[in-house]
């Protein structure tokens, strides 16, 4: 087992609002071997005793930290979690807050381990485009920057047979640019799924190991828009979380860039909709227009609102309608999958959520000895004994 930085233990306890006495009671530590329970915890926190895995599991549960946190190289600095770009719904709960905090800590911990290993690799070059633009920049200038980095032709996106294949093509270009794109919408079970109104995407701006996290609970047709939205946050050099309505200036900027990138204004003008069109006509026309271009109906309707072709209340009604249709479709697909007792294997799903480049990076770091097997399992979110099976899936199915 790799050594744990004792400063992490102190930080995790203190940030959970616990004194040493509180923690001793919560963790169930008892007097033994001539040491009091309090002395044993203090010995752990001073690095005199190495914590067992069972103790770390208990600490993770009581301190409300993912297990991976304890393998970070150092405690996160204040503000490392980034900014909160969201406009949250009125019924936002403490449970939602806990789920988000835990997810982001997990992502930060994974990224910290990857970055630490990359820092020792002399062949790794910093990405100079992180933080290269400003919110004051002209829209076309930002689009030119994106095109120069991604080298992705929107025609390639349009030609794909469905939204999932189109997203995969776009994701591939983003990952080739040095960004790791992960699909995470819960903490490991459907009981901890996070609603897209609470969390849609997360960008971790770093010039060595930048991450983009997309909430996979969202409609597949919306993933591409979220990917570009978060990519713009990286170009701005901003670490933070997005979700809810785009009421803040920074979110409106990222939405504007993502919308123009995936659906240029001249192409939007081909949609024959205006304020005089009936609501039913709007639904039919928008749905077909979006389907033909592998983008979401919600994005098309929002672009129409942005360009003053429909009013806010019409856009809001359309947005809610398309959301309900997606939720109904998702429920139906889940029932079909359960009835057939079929679906992709655990490793295929893992591959899809983590992305092949990320898994290959972990394998290469293991091969060079810069990432021990135990830490690799933490980064991948699987048991160390299952790592080879995941690798076999990648290199035999990919």
Q: b or e along 296-331 (b: 16 or more beta carbons within 10 Å of the residue's beta carbon)?
A: bbbbbbbbbbbeebbeeebbebbbebbbeebeeeee
- Residues facing residue 49 across a β-bridge: none
- Inter-axis angle of helices 387-397 and 346-354, nearest 10: 80
Question: Once rounded to an integer, what is the mean pLDDT over residues 243-249?
Answer: 77
Edge-to-edge strand ranges of the sheet holding 240-242: 83-84, 240-242, 201-204, 211-214, 180-183
The partner residues of 83 in beta bridges, in order of sequence, read 240
pLDDT (mean) for 169-185: 96
Q: What CA–CA distance (Å, rounded) separates 61 from 268?
A: 50
Report if residue 30 sits inside a domain: no
For 84, how many CA atoms within 13 A lie in the half-sphere containing its CB?
10
Structure tokens at 186: 């819960």
Q: Averaged over 85-108, what is the pLDDT?
A: 75
Greater pLDDT, 82 or 273: 273
**What pLDDT was estimated at residue 398?**
46
**Mean pLDDT along residues 114-126:** 85
Q: Examine the pLDDT at 124 and tell me if it is beyond 60.
A: yes
List, in order, residues 6 or more apart from 267 with CB less than 8 Å away.
Answer: 293
Q: Is residue 199 part of a domain?
A: yes
- Number of domains into which the chain is organized: 1
Which parts of 160-246 fold into alpha helices (H)?
A: 163-176, 220-235
The answer as to whether 189 is a domain residue is yes
Q: Which residue range is the domain that position 166 belongs to?
A: 115-262
The pair phi, psi for residue 153, each rounded to 5°, is -90, 125
pLDDT at 80 over 60: no
Which pLDDT band, with edges at 50, 70 and 90, does 77 fall under?
A: low
Q: Is residue 231, in this structure, part of any structural domain at all?
A: yes
Confidence (pLDDT) at 79: 44
User: In the structure, what pLDDT confidence band is assigned to residue 126 with cuts at 50, 70 and 90?
Assistant: very high
The CA distance from 72 to 106, in Å, is 10
Residue 76, domain member (yes or no): no
- Determine the pLDDT at residue 117: 83
Whether 73 is in a domain gets the answer: no
- Euclidean distance between CA atoms 316 and 332, whole angstroms: 25
**147 located within any domain:** yes
The whole-number pLDDT of residue 18 equals 85
Provide mean pLDDT across the span 223-231.
Answer: 97
Mean pLDDT calculated for residue range 10-14: 88
Cα 201 to Cα 230: distance, rounded to the nearest angstrom: 7
Give the span between the Cα atoms of 71 and 335, in whole angstroms: 39
Q: Please, how many CA atoms are within 13 Å of residue 397, restricted to the half-sphere of its CB? A: 15
- Maximal C-alpha separation, the chain: 83
**What string of DSSP letters covers 72-102?**
SSSPPPTTTT-EE--B--TT--HHHHHHHHH
| pTM, 2 dp | 0.79
Confidence bin at 340 (pLDDT 50/70/90): low
pLDDT, residue 200, reads 92
Lowest-pLDDT range of 8-17, 102-111, 212-221, 341-350: 341-350
Helices in 17-153 by DSSP H: which ranges? 20-27, 37-45, 53-63, 94-119, 139-150
The mean-pLDDT minimum among 49-63, 141-155, 330-344 falls in 330-344
Average pLDDT, the chain: 88
Per-residue confidence (pLDDT) for residue 81, from 0 to 100 = 55
Q: What percent of the chain has a predicted confidence (pLDDT) above 90?
A: 55
What number of H helices and E strands is found in the chain?
18, 5
pLDDT computed for residue 397 by the predictor: 52
Q: Tokens representing 254? A: 């990222």
Positive or negative: CA dihedral 28, 7, 122, 231: positive
| Residues 147, 371: Cα–Cα separation, whole Å | 34
In a domain, 106, yes or no: no
Section 222-239 average pLDDT: 96
């Amino acid at each position: 087992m790799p050594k744990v930085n004792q400063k992490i233990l102190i930080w995790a306890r203190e940030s959970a609002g616990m004194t040493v006495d509180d923690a001793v009671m919560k963790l169930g530590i008892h007097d033994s071997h001539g040491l009091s329970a309090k002395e044993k915890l203090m010995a752990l926190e001073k690095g005199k005793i190495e914590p067992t895995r069972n103790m770390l599991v208990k600490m993770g549960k009581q301190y409300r930290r993912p297990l991976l946190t304890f393998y970070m190289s150092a405690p996160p600095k204040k503000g490392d979690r980034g900014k909160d770009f969201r406009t949250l719904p009125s019924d936002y709960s403490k449970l939602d807050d806990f789920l988000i905090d835990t997810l982001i800590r997990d992502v930060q911990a994974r990224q910290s381990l990857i970055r630490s290993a990359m820092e020792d690799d002399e062949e790794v070059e910093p990405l100079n485009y992180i933080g290269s633009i400003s919110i004051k920049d002209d829209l076309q200038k930002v689009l030119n920057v994106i095109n120069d980095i991604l080298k992705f032709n929107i025609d390639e996106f349009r030609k794909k047979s469905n939204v999932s294949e189109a997203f995969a093509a776009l994701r591939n270009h983003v990952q080739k640019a040095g960004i790791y794109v992960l699909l995470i919408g819960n903490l490991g079970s459907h009981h901890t799924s996070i609603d897209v109104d609470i969390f849609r995407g997360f960008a971790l701006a770093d010039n060595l190991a930048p991450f983009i996290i997309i909430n996979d609970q969202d409609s597949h047709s919306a993933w591409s828009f979220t990917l570009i939205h978060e990519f713009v946050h990286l170009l701005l050099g901003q670490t933070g979380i997005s979700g809810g309505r785009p009421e803040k200036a920074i979110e409106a900027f990222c939405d504007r860039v993502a919308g123009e990138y995936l659906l240029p204004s001249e192409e939007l003008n081909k949609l024959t909709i205006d304020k005089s069109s009936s609501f039913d006509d709007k639904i039919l026309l928008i749905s077909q227009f979006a389907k033909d271009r592998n983008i979401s109906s919600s994005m098309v309707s929002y672009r129409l609102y942005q360009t003053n072709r429909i009013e806010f209340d019409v856009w809001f009604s359309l947005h809610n309608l398309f959301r309900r249709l997606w939720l109904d479709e998702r429920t139906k697909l889940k029932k079909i999958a359960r009835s057939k007792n079929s679906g992709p294997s655990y490793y295929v799903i893992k591959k899809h959520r983590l992305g092949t480049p990320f898994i290959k990076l972990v394998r290469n770091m293991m091969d060079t000895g810069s990432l021990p097997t135990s830490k690799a399992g933490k980064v991948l979110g699987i048991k160390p004994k299952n790592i080879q099976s995941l690798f076999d899936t990648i290199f035999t199915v990919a």
